[in-house]
Amino acid sequence: MATGSINYQLSSLSSTQQSVAWRSPSNIAIVKYWGKHGIQLPLNPSVSFTLDAAHTDTKVSFTEKIEKDGEVSIDFYFEGAPNEAFANKIIAFLQSLHIEFSFLLDYDFKIESSNSFPHSSGIASSASAMSALALCFCSIEKILTGWPTDASDFLNKASHIARLGSGSAARSVFPEVAIWGTHSGIEDSTDLQAIPFDSQLHKSFKRFHDDILIVSAEEKSVSSRAGHSLMEVNPYATVRYEQANKNMMATLEALKTGDILSFGKILEEEAMTLHALMMCSDPSYVLMKAGTLAVVEKVRAFREETSLPLYFTLDAGPNVHLLYPDEVEDQIWPFIERELVPHCVDGKVIRDRVGLGPRLI
Ligand code: PMV
């Protein structure tokens, strides 16, 4: 992996500074993680594109406590205002990390966080938020102790910590493409953290577009946490995990060779499988909206008519991610704007693309 840029960024940290800030992106899974055990340990491997425009900026300031009271002490501000609900979640998360970060009880922390996308846009912010937070605390460890000296140790730890906060956040730490979860055919793959895609990503996928259509900004009726746990009794779970393992190898091959056709087929199969699993859970639930299906049908019809490589995927929600290569933007965007954006809440669309990973700010 090109750790050069992270190496360079880490070398700018100084042992006297008392704050650190990271910008960390969201990611979109190609092969989806759905089903977990323990503390965010995945029941199948997953692979994602790291995004760019959808990101979280987090700054952590720290001052040594005069009296050590054995508690984690945090002030949390979201988009400039104190936010008690988020603060409580973060305190509980950090409290669970005192083994990983021995300095946690010795400092008062002020955390300021904001997202590049509107909070009510229906975009899950946990991947960007948890990865930004993990990167900040790994940087504080480096400032206070000098460890790690190596960029890959730093990123490995940040991915591990991000995973403990929110599973898919483990993948946001790496540029372009990240793999998370043990697969017998993928060297160094592990459930504990994501790893970078170490083969050369084919140039067709570099700067691939992901236009995120905000079809609904309502809060989801079933959270991802509940969705993951319903997989424990899903009658199709075993075949799903087999399918995910198979799709992993085929996706990595497509990413390497630039096989956009195979990539697109898997991308859509994964999205539909994820939502089919929800529909046949007990209790059954549906997170797609009428607008989601309308977009899916129009994308398929457009592809049939034009043979242009426009594909969709879905997260655990109603919003549609539209993926296509940079070279065909001029042919595809006018269609999206004319035919698909009218299905969005207030015409809301986040124009994103494959990105180069987090950066120190
Ligand atoms: O990381 P979580 O618990 O929010 O789960 C994410 C699950 C999906 O977004 C549906 C798939 C994935 O791999 O990102």
Does the CB atom of residue 234 touch ligand 1 within 6 A? no
Our separate counts of H helices and E strands in the chain read 9, 14
Does the CB atom of residue 160 touch ligand 1 within 6 A? no
Does the CB atom of residue 167 touch ligand 1 within 6 A? yes
Please give the backbone phi and psi of residue 122, each rounded to the nearest 5 degrees, phi first.
80, 5
Q: What residue type is assigned to position 349 of the chain?
A: V
Atom number in ligand 1 closest to CA 168: 1
Domains and CATH numbers, the chain: 3-200 (3.30.230.10), 203-353 (3.30.70.890)
Q: What is the DSSP letter of 191?
A: S
Distance 279 CA to ligand 1 centre (A): 17
Please give the backbone phi and psi of residue 105, each rounded to the nearest 5 degrees, phi first.
-85, -5
Write down the pLDDT at residue 69. Answer: 87
Atom number in ligand 1 closest to CA 31: 13
> For the packed helices 126-145 and 151-165, what is the interaxial angle rounded to 10 degrees?
130
Atom number in ligand 1 closest to CA 166: 1
The span from the first CA to the last CA of the chain, in angstroms, equals 21
Dmax over Cα atoms in the chain, in whole Å?
70
135: tokens are: 């990167």
Pairing of strands 81-82, 36-37: unpaired
CA–CA separation, 73 vs 312, rounded Å? 43
Does the CB atom of residue 29 touch ligand 1 within 6 A? yes
| Cβ burial, residue 67 (10 Å; 0-12/13-18/19+) | exposed
CA–CA separation, 63 vs 56, rounded Å? 23
Distance 11 CA to ligand 1 centre (A): 32
Atom number in ligand 1 closest to CA 40: 3
Does the CB atom of residue 33 touch ligand 1 within 6 A? yes
Distance 315 CA to ligand 1 centre (A): 7
CA–CA separation, 206 vs 199, rounded Å? 13
Q: What residue type is assigned to position 126 of the chain?
A: S
Q: What is the DSSP letter of 342?
A: G
Query: Given ligand 1 and candidates 48, 89, 168, 230, which is best to mutate, with the most ligand atoms within 8 Å of its CB?
Result: 168
Does the CB atom of residue 204 touch ligand 1 within 6 A? no
Distances (CA, A) of 8 to 11, 151, 176, 178, 359: 5, 9, 18, 21, 11
Distance 16 CA to ligand 1 centre (A): 37
Does the CB atom of residue 168 touch ligand 1 within 6 A? yes
Does the CB atom of residue 224 touch ligand 1 within 6 A? yes
Does the CB atom of residue 32 touch ligand 1 within 6 A? yes
Distance 33 CA to ligand 1 centre (A): 6
Write down the pLDDT at residue 121. Answer: 66
pTM of this prediction? 0.96
Distance 32 CA to ligand 1 centre (A): 7
**Other C-beta atoms within 10 Å of 10: how many?**
19
Does the CB atom of residue 126 touch ligand 1 within 6 A? yes
Q: What is the DSSP letter of 61?
A: E
Distance 300 CA to ligand 1 centre (A): 24
Rounded mean pLDDT for each run of 10 residues along the chain, 361 residues in total: 73 91 97 97 98 97 93 92 87 91 95 87 83 97 94 96 97 97 97 92 96 92 93 97 98 98 98 98 96 98 98 96 98 98 96 96 92
Closest alpha carbon to 26 in 120, 119, 124, 111: 124
Distance 28 CA to ligand 1 centre (A): 9
